[in-house]
Amino acid sequence: VCPTGAIMPKSEISYVWKVLSDPKKKVVVAIAPAVRASIGEVFGFAGGNGTETAGKIVTALRSMGFAKVFDVSFAADMTIVEEADEFLNRLKKNKDMPLFTSCCPAWVKFVEQYYPDFISNLSSCRSPQAMYGSVAKKIMPEMLKISKEDLTVVSIMPCTAKKFEARRPELSKNGVADIDYVLTTQELARMIEEAGLLFGELEPSAFDMPLGFKTGGGVIFGNSGGVTEAVLRDIVSNNSGGAGKTEQFVFVRGEDGLREVKVNFGGRELNIAVVYGLKNARKILKDIKVDRSRYDFVEVMACPGGCIGGAGQPVYKDLSVRKTRTKVLYESDKTMELRRPQDNPYVQKVYKDYFNKPGSCAAHEYLHTGHKNRKRFNETFEIYKPDQKGNIK
Ligand code: SF4
C-alpha cells in the first residue's frame, strides 16, 4: 500500500460504468464507514469537510444506476459477532493467543509475508468487505429474482489494499470472486464528477435493506480502536447480562499509534493492544515473540488513524483532517439507536435464515477464510531478518 496514495493501482471505474450500462445486470454496491467521513472534502461545498455524507453518497450511487446501495458497516457488525465468538473460544481453550484482528488486508499480508509464525494468531474471520461480498452473492440473486451470473457486487473502500484482498482466491466460489470491483473514495469522487452530479446539492436518502442497516459498532470500524471497542461492546455487555453503557469503552480511543489497555472481563484482566502503522506492528510483534502471554487481543490497522487515513481517501496535508474524520464517525455512532453489533436485527435475521449461529459450519463456509505463508525465499529486506537468536530487528 502506498501510504500517501501517490501510487495507485489500476482503476476499475471503466468496468463499473460498463456493467452499469448493461440492462441485463443488477449492480449492488456498499460503502465502507470511512468513506462517508471524507468524500465531502473533495467537493468543497459549505460544511463538506467534517460532514457525515452517507445519505448524499446513497443518492449519488442510485442516480448512477446501482440497483441497491448497502453499507459495509452491516458486514462490520457481522464481523464483530463472529470475531467475538472466535475470541471467547480461543480464550477458553487458551489456543492461538493473542488473537490478531484480520480486517485490514495490508496487515494480514504483512503477517503472511514477514511473520508467518504468527499466522495462526490471525482471526479467521473475513474482513467486512469480504463478508459483504460473500453474503451479497449468497442472498441477493434470490431477493432480486435474477441469476447469479447477472449480479455484480461492487464495494467502495478507503483503501487500495482492498483491491488486492478482493482478488484473493480464498475469497471466491467456483472461480467467481465474491467482490467483482473495488473502488476507492477518490475513484467514487471521480465517478460523481463524471456523472455530472453536484454532490453538495444532493438530497440525502436511506440505504437499502437488509444489508444497509448497522449499529454504531459497525460505523466506528473506520477509526483505529473501533474494532476493539465494538468487540468489547459485544463480549463485556453479553457477559454482564446486557448491562453497561457503550460509552464505558471509550478509553480504547486515542491518537497514539500503539496503545495498551486493560479490561476486566468476568474477574479476568484482558490485556489489549491497539496499533496503527506497520512500524508499530513490527514493534509489538517483537514484544509478543518474547512473551506470547503479554496480550489477549491485538488490533492492527496499517494506515495512520485506521481506515479514515487510508491510501484511497482524499489526500490531505494537514493532520487535523484526520482528527476531523475520526470525529465524524464517533459523532455518527452517538446518533445510532443501536450501538452493539449483536443487537442488529438484520444481522440476527441473516443468521437465522442462512448461518444458524456464530461459529457454525455455514458461518465458517461463508464468513471465515484462511491465511497462507507468503514468505519469499532469498528475502532481501534486511530489516525483517531475524538475528542469530531468532529475534527480529
Ligand atoms: Fe485499508 Fe488502511 Fe483500512 Fe487497512 S487500515 S483496511 S490498509 S484503509
Reported as a single tens digit per residue, the pLDDT across 93-131 is 999 999 999 999 999 999 999 999 999 999 999 999 999
CA distance 31 to 69: 8
In this prediction, residues 338-360 reach a mean pLDDT of: 95
Would you say residue 378 lies in a domain? no
Close Cβ partners of 217 (under 8 Å, ≥ 6 residues apart):
76, 77, 80, 229, 230, 233, 234, 246, 333, 339, 340, 341
CB atoms within 10 A of CB 205: 17
Q: How far is the CA of 157 from the centre of ligand 1 (A)?
A: 9
Report whether 300 contacts 104 (CB < 8 A): yes
388 or 63, greater pLDDT: 63
pLDDT band at 2 (very low <50, low <70, confident <90, very high): low
Distance CA 208, CA 33 (A): 16
**Ligand 1 and 306: CB distance under 6 A:** yes
Task: Give the mean pLDDT of 344-358.
Answer: 96
**Separation CA 156–CA 136 (nearest Å):** 14
| Residue to mutate (ligand 1; options 301, 326, 329; most atoms within 8 A of CB) | 301
**Residue 393 lies inside a defined structural domain of this protein:** no
Nearest residue to 22 (alpha-carbon basis) of 67, 62, 70? 67
pLDDT in tens, 178-220: 999 999 999 999 999 999 999 999 999 999 999 999 999 999 9
Average pLDDT over residues 327-331: 95
Instruction: Give the catalytic positions in this structure.
Output: 83, 86, 103, 123, 162, 165, 170, 307
Please, which residues bridge with residue 47 across strands? none
Cα–chain center distance at 291: 28
- Counting residues of the chain whose pLDDT is more than 90, the rounded percentage is 80
147 Cα to the center of ligand 1, angstroms? 33
Phi-psi region of 306 (alpha: psi -120 to 50; beta: other; left: phi over 0): left
Question: What is the atom index within ligand 1 of the atom nearest the CA of 302?
Answer: 5
The alpha carbon torsion through 95, 98, 102, 104 (nearest 10 deg) reads -170
Domain that holds residue 41: 14-367
Q: How many domains does the chain have?
A: 1
In a domain, 8, yes or no: no
Instruction: Say whether pLDDT at 363 is over 60.
Output: yes
pTM higher than 0.95 for the full model? no
Pocket test for ligand 1, best of 8, 108, 129, 162 (most atoms within 8 A of CB): 162
Cβ of residue 310 lying under 6 Å from some atom of ligand 1: yes
CB 312 within 8 A of CB 187: yes
Whether residue 385 is contained in a domain is answered as: no
For residue 70, tell me if it sits in a domain: yes
CA–centroid distance, residue 310 to ligand 1 (Å): 5
Does a structural domain hold residue 9? Answer: no
Q: Length of the chain in residues, anyone? A: 393
Q: Could you tell me if the CB of 226 is within 6 A of ligand 1?
A: no
**Residue (of 275, 47, 31, 238) closest to 153 by Cα position:** 31
**Residue 76 counted as domain residue:** yes
**Distance between CA atoms of residues 279 and 345, nearest Å:** 39
278 Cβ inside 6 Å of ligand 1: no
Whether 50 is in a domain gets the answer yes
Supply the residue whose CA is at minimum distance from atom 1 of ligand 1. 159
Distance, C-alpha 78 to centroid of its chain? 11
**Strands 258-265 and 268-276, how do they pair?**
antiparallel
Q: What is the amino acid identity at position 58?
A: V
Q: Report the run of H or E that residue 259 belongs to, with start and end.
A: strand 258-265
Q: What mean pLDDT is predicted for residues 168-186?
A: 94
Compute how many other C-beta atoms are within 10 angstroms of the C-beta atom of residue 93.
9
Domain of 198: which CATH number? 3.40.50.1780
